[in-house]
Structure 1
Amino acid sequence: MALSISLVLLTGVIVVVLWRLGYLRFWPTTTVALFGFSLASTGIAPTIRDAITSVSGWISNISF
């Protein structure tokens, strides 16, 4: 759960920064957000969630 909240906060900050810099426009951004909500209710949502979890686990295991 902590990872989900962190990922949501990180992507939220990125969206706000891009919006403020003028790289995002209202209608394309709204369309992509609606697509994301629609995609979350399909059968592929668990696969996407598992891929994000495995990539984040892989990144957290990298030691510098």
Structure 2
Amino acid sequence: MAVSISAVVLLGIIVFALIRGGTVRLGSALICAAFGFFLASTGAAPLITETIGTVTGWISSL
């Protein structure tokens, strides 16, 4: 759970910075957020969660 909260905060900061910098418009960011929200309710969610857990575990072991 701590990894999920950290990832949400990190990704939120990145999205905020991209919107502020003009790289991503607000509409595009909202569409991406909606896509992530709906993706979380599909069968791909466990695979994505496991992959992120594996990558963060690998990074923390360095």
TM-score (norm. length: structure 1): 0.89
Unmatched runs of 5 consecutive residues or more in structure 1: none
Q: In structure 2, the residue corresponding to 1:12 is in which secondary structure?
A: helix
Structure 1 stretches of 4+ with a deviation exceeding 6 A read: none
Give aligned-pair identity as a percent: 52
Separation (CA, whole Å) in 1 of partners of 2:35 and 2:44: 13
Unmatched runs of 5 consecutive residues or more in structure 2: none
TM-score (norm. length: structure 2): 0.92
RMSD over aligned CA atoms reads 0.8
Q: Which has the higher relative contact order, 1 or 2, with Cα contacts under 8 A spaced 6 or more apart?
A: 2
Counterpart for residue 3 of structure 2: 3
Counterpart for residue 31 of structure 2: 31
